[in-house]
Structure formats: C-alpha cells, structure tokens
C-alpha cells in the first residue's frame, strides 16, 4: 500500500512490529514504516512451527532486494503457524502488511506483556 | 534499514529532480543520492526492457593533458593507453605498487594529448592525489574536473533511440565518444554504461543537468536509483569498487587480467605479472544460489573464500553474487556452500554474465 497506515486494533513494538491480539494468541507482522524503509521484500526466512520466541529478541528475518533485516518478537510465546504464502509471494508484506503480509501466529506465554506495547497513535507519534 | 541523510552530505545538480520524483535518498560515499524511486524491481525491469536514466554525477572526472599525457596515463593505469584511439573509451585499473586495486576507471581520449578519466565517487580525491603525485616526470598535467561535469547514464534497449531523437546527430558506438548537442545542450556523449544493456553516458555542464534530465524523462526515460544500478551491474557481472575490488585484491584474482598490459610498465605491473605467472590464490567468480536465500557481502564460503557482492536478481528471481574462491573450485557448474548468517546455502559457480538478453 502506498500510504502510511497504522490500524487502531493492533499493538505496536518500537522495532516496527505489530501484534494482533486474539485471547492468548497473537499474529505478528512488520509495520507499514518497516516495509517502506526496507523496500520490496523478496524473501521471508520462515522459522519453524514450535519455535519459542522471546519478546524484544530477533525471531526471523526478512530480506529486501538490497538488505536483510532482523524481525523482533513483540511478545513471547511459541509459534503455532507461519504464513506459507510468503514463500511464493513475499511482496504481500509490502502490499498488505497488516493482512496477507502477516508473518507468524504465536501462542502467548505471558499475555500481560501486551501492556508494554504501544497503541497506534503512540507508535505513529514515535516515527516523527 | 535505510540510513538517514544529514545536511552535511553533498548534493548533485539533480537533487531537486530526485526529490520531485519521490526518490528515497541515502548517504552514498558522502553524497545524498537516490537509492530508489518507484521501486528497485520496477526500475530494474525498466532498464532491461525499455530505458532508464541515472544520475551518476557523484562520479569524479580527472583530466590528464599535455605533450606526454599518454605516457603519464600509461604509467598510471593498467591498460595499454597507446591502443586508445582519439574518441575512444578504455577500461583500466589504477593500482598501487603491490598490485592492489586503488580504483577501476574509464578513460576517454578527447584528443591526441587530452584524456578524461572517470573515477568512483568514494575514491575520487584519493585517485586525484595519486595521479598528481605519480608520473610527474612526464610533461602532462593532472587536474580535477569533477566540478565541471554532471554525469547522466541513459541505459536500456531503447536508450540510444531516445537520446538520438533529441540529438543533433548519430550517437557514438560502444566504447567511443563524441561531442553532441542533446536537448539543446552541448555535451560529451559516451557509448559506455554499467548495466549490461546498450546505452550512453552523458557528461555536461552542471547548470544544464536539470533541463536535460527533464527532457529525457519527458521523452520516456524512467529515473533509476542506485539500488537497481547495483542489481543491474551484478547481473552483468561488472565489478563494484569497495565490494569486489579493493587494495586487498589484485586484478588477476579479480578476473580483470584482460585490462592489464604488464608490458606497458604501469605501477604495480611487476607484481601483477608475477601473479599472472603463478596463478592467483583466489579467483572472483559469479554464482547463483540454488534454492532460497540471498548471500550478502562478507558471507564466508565453506572451505575458504568470501562473497564480495550478493543480492537478489530481479531477472533470475533468486540470490546471485560474486565470490572469491580457491582456484580449483572456480569451474562453471562447481557447487559450493555459503554461510549466510548461520544457515548454509547451496550455490553454483556460473559463467559471466549471470543475465543475458536471450537467456
């Protein structure tokens, strides 16, 4: 998508990741700002289902034509699903970062961590 | 992430054009340059399929002029300058006493006694100082001409036709130059480029750069940033100084022995002749990644060797690159592995170029 957007129903991490919270599960992705900075994503090195991720630590990487970038977990938990579609269409991360461009789903180990994330307006303000 | 730019960076005469075209600007060798406009893939494909225009005004120019200009350049640069005709263009290396590469250059012969050499932006000041210091026994002056020129590259299968329709005559063939008026502006038109496509490079007065850029864009040339410039040159297997070339490497190891004529006695030629005689310890070869993943500069090769350029190829849609490998593993088709941030990726040695029009 061409225009910056930060949906209000998501939570945001300072390392430019988002989390969509659904009970004790969450979907992770990278924000509009992150994909715009990186440029066209050409490769998502998907972690394995079952991988334990830790809030604030790198859990995977995405690559654009020109660079590789670490992706940090906004929350802790265990990966229960990965976006298989990205292996054939990694450009979805650019075209639809909050929809078809999601990266992984995680079973949260400590849902209270959500309180430390930013809401959309706070995150957007942090970018300027 | 793209690095932020700051006000201390130098700007080319086309800075306002880049901003107006929506470019992402980054620090490149101290210059605030466009890394992309519409997107690297789209720009890459525009050059492969039609025509793109690049601002390469950050590149430097050094003029060598005088009765012994040829002799001085023969001492400084690796190729045989006596074979460079008036109106011709020649690729060569600038080497140190140990055969290490200081820069790679294109030299244009403007007349019998005047030569213009194009340097890489990151090396320009150092090249200039080196060229002014060495060969001073010859009756020729070496002068900085960077401030006198803006430089544009127009590249792609439609590039010549596009420039020619705005020009006052035919364009020079590949590796030749001539003086022309294009879009009403006098300039030096050079049949050279860095994309693997046909095209020209234009050297003109900085104050005319913006209107010429606008005329070429209006005629259909798409602005191309440094991001696509890198993927284009890598598919064509052209070296990038700072990646594939440095003082650490000699031209023979880098696969540039064809641009070295040791019998001319240029600086570093004795060491380079010795390397050519015994064979290099490493050889630079192009490769493709077999499977997922993209190797990057600095990744180590299992069994010895190092990736010096690595990127995603928009045409081949896979990881490609160039690596220095042990010489017994450089035959095309040889398989090897690259440690890409802890994951071993399979790679295959390929022939140059990695991308060809009919492939």
pLDDT of residue B13: 98
Indicate the length of chain B as a whole number. 359
> pLDDT tens across A44-62, in order?
989 999 999 999 999 999 9
Q: Report CA B308 to chain centroid distance, whole Å.
A: 15
Helices (H), ranges, chain A: 32-38, 92-95, 120-126
* Residues of chain B contacting A67 with CB distance shorter than 8 Å: 1, 296
Is residue B333 situated within a structural domain? yes
Question: Between β-strands B52-55 and B222-223, what pairing exists: parallel, antiparallel or unpaired?
Answer: parallel
Residues in chain A, pLDDT under 50: none
pLDDT of the residue at B143 = 98
Contacts of A65 in chain B (CB under 8 A): 40-41, 227, 231, 311-312, 314
Rounded-to-integer distance, Cα B267 and Cα A85, Å: 56
Whether residues B96 and B43 fall in one domain:
no
B41/A43 touch (CB, cutoff 8 Å), yes or no: no
Give B58's DSSP letter.
T
Task: Assess if residue B350 is contained within a domain.
Answer: yes
B65: tokens are 């002029």
Same domain, B159 and B113: no
Residues of chain B with pLDDT > 90: what percent?
A: 97
**Is the same domain home to B109 and B78?**
yes
Which of B34, B240, B292 to mutate to probe the A interface, most A CBs <10 Å?
A: B292
CATH number reported for the structural domain that contains residue B307 in this entry? 2.40.30.110
B67, B141: one domain: yes
Q: How far apart are CA B269 and CA B262, in angstroms?
A: 5
* pLDDT on residue A1: 59
Q: How many domains, chain B?
A: 3
Structural domains present in chain A: 11-109 (2.40.50.100)
**Same domain, yes or no, for B142 and B35?**
no
B30 with B99, same domain: the answer is no
Residue B281 CB coordination number (10 Å): 12
**Shared-domain flag, residues B25 and B128:** no
Residues of A in contact with B227 (CB under 8 A): 39, 65-66
Within 145-164 of B, beta carbons closer than 8 Å to A belong to: none
Q: Which two tokens stand for residue A66?
A: 């020109």
Instruction: Write the residue in A42, A63, A66 that is nearest to B227 by C-beta.
Output: A66
Indicate which of A34, A64, A66, A128 best probes the interface with B, i.e. most B CBs within 10 Å of its own CB.
Answer: A66
Residues of chain B falling short of pLDDT 50: 1-3, 359
Sheet with A68-72: list strands edge to edge.
A41-45, A58-64, A68-72
Question: Among residues B147, B176, B207, which one ends one of the domains?
Answer: B147
The whole-angstrom distance between B21's CA and the closest CA on chain A is 15
Sign of CA dihedral B107, B109, B113, B118: negative
- Give the pLDDT score at A64: 94
What integer pLDDT is reported at residue B1 of this predicted model?
39
Residues of A in contact with B1 (CB under 8 A): 37-38, 67, 69
Q: Is the CB of residue A42 less than 8 Å away from at least one CB of chain B?
A: yes
**What pLDDT is attached to residue B357?**
79
Tokens describing residue B78: 């690796």
- The verdict on A45 touching B (C-beta cutoff 8 Å) is yes
Instruction: Give domain status of residue B263, yes or no.
Output: no
Q: What's residue A22's pLDDT?
A: 96
- Which residue in A42, A43, A86, A91 has the most chain B C-beta atoms within 10 A of its own C-beta, making it the best mutation to test that interface? A42
Q: Is residue B249 part of a domain?
A: no
Given B115, B147, B179, the domain boundary residue is B147
Do B51 and B174 sit in the same domain of this protein? yes
CB atoms within 10 A of CB B67: 12
Q: Is B314 on the interface with A (CB under 8 A)?
A: yes
**Same domain assignment for residues B154 and B297:** no
Q: Which residues pair with A43 in a beta bridge?
A: A63
Q: Within a domain: residue B69?
A: yes
Q: What is the DSSP letter of B258?
A: G
Contacts of A112 (CB under 8 A, 6+ apart): none
Quote the domain boundaries for residue B227. 15-57+149-235
Among A31, A37, A39, the residue to mutate for chain B (most B Cβ within 10 A): A39
| Beta strands B306-313; B318-325: pairing state | antiparallel
Distance CA B127, CA B267 (A): 13
Q: Are residues B28 and B69 in the same domain?
A: no
Residues contacting B178, CB < 8 A, separation 6+? B87, B169, B171, B172, B188, B189
pLDDT at position B2: 45
Nearest residue in A to B313, CA atom: A65
The sign of the dihedral angle between the CA atoms of B47, B50, B56, B62 is: positive
pLDDT of residue B261: 98
pLDDT digit string, tens, across residues B201-248: 999 999 999 999 999 999 999 999 999 999 999 999 999 999 999 999
């Amino acid at each position: 998508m061409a225009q910056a957007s930060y949906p209000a129903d998501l939570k945001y991490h300072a390392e430019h990741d988002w989390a969509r919270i659904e009970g004790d599960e969450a979907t992770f992705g990278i924000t509009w700002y992150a994909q715009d900075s990186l440029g066209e994503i050409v490769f998502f090195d998907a972690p394995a289902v079952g991988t334990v991720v830790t809030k604030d630590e790198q859990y995977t990487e995405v690559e654009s034509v020109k660079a590789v970038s670490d992706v940090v977990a906004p929350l802790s938990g265990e990966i229960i699903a990965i976006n298989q579609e990205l292996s054939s269409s990694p450009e979805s991360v650019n075209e639809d970062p909050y929809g078809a461009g999601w990266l992984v789903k995680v079973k949260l180990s400590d849902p209270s961590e959500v309180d430390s994330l930013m809401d959309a307006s706070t995150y957007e303000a942090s970018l300027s | 992430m793209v690095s932020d730019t700051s006000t201390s960076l130098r700007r080319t005469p086309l800075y306002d054009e880049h901003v107006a075209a929506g470019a992402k600007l980054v620090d490149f060798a101290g210059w605030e340059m466009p890394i992309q406009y519409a997107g690297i893939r789209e720009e890459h494909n525009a050059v492969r399929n039609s025509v793109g225009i690049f601002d390469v005004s950050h590149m430097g120019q050094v003029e060598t002029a005088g009765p012994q200009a040829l002799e001085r350049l023969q001492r400084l640069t690796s190729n045989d300058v006596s074979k460079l005709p008036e109106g011709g263009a020649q690729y060569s290396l600038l080497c140190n006493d140990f055969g290490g590469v200081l820069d790679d250059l294109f030299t244009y012969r403007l007349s019998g006694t005047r030569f213009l050499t194009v340097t890489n932006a990151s090396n320009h000041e150092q090249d200039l100082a080196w060229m002014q210091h060495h060969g001073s026994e010859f009756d020729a002056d070496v002068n900085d001409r960077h401030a006198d020129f803006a430089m544009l590259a127009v590249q792609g299968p439609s590039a010549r036709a596009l420039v020619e329709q705005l020009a006052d005559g035919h364009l020079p063939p590949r590796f030749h130059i001539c003086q022309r008026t294009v879009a009403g502006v006098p300039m030096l038109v050079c049949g050279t480029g860095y994309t693997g496509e046909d095209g020209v490079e234009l050297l003109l007065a900085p104050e005319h750069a913006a209107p010429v850029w606008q005329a070429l864009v209006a005629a259909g040339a798409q602005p191309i940033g440094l991001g696509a410039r890198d993927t284009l040159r890598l598919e064509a297997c052209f070296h990038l100084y700072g990646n594939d070339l440095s003082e650490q490497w000699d031209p023979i190891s880098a696969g540039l022995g064809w641009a070295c004529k040791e019998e001319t006695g240029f600086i570093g030629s004795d060491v380079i002749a010795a390397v050519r005689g015994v064979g290099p310890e490493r050889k630079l070869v192009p490769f493709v990644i077999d499977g997922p993943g993209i190797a990057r500069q600095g990744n180590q090769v299992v069994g010895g060797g190092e990736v010096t350029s690595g990127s995603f190829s928009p045409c081949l849609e896979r990881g490609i690159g160039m690596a220095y490998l042990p010489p017994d593993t450089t035959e095309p088709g040889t398989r090897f592995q690259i440690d890409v941030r802890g994951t071993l990726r399979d790679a295959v040695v390929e022939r140059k170029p990695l991308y060809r029009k009919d492939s």
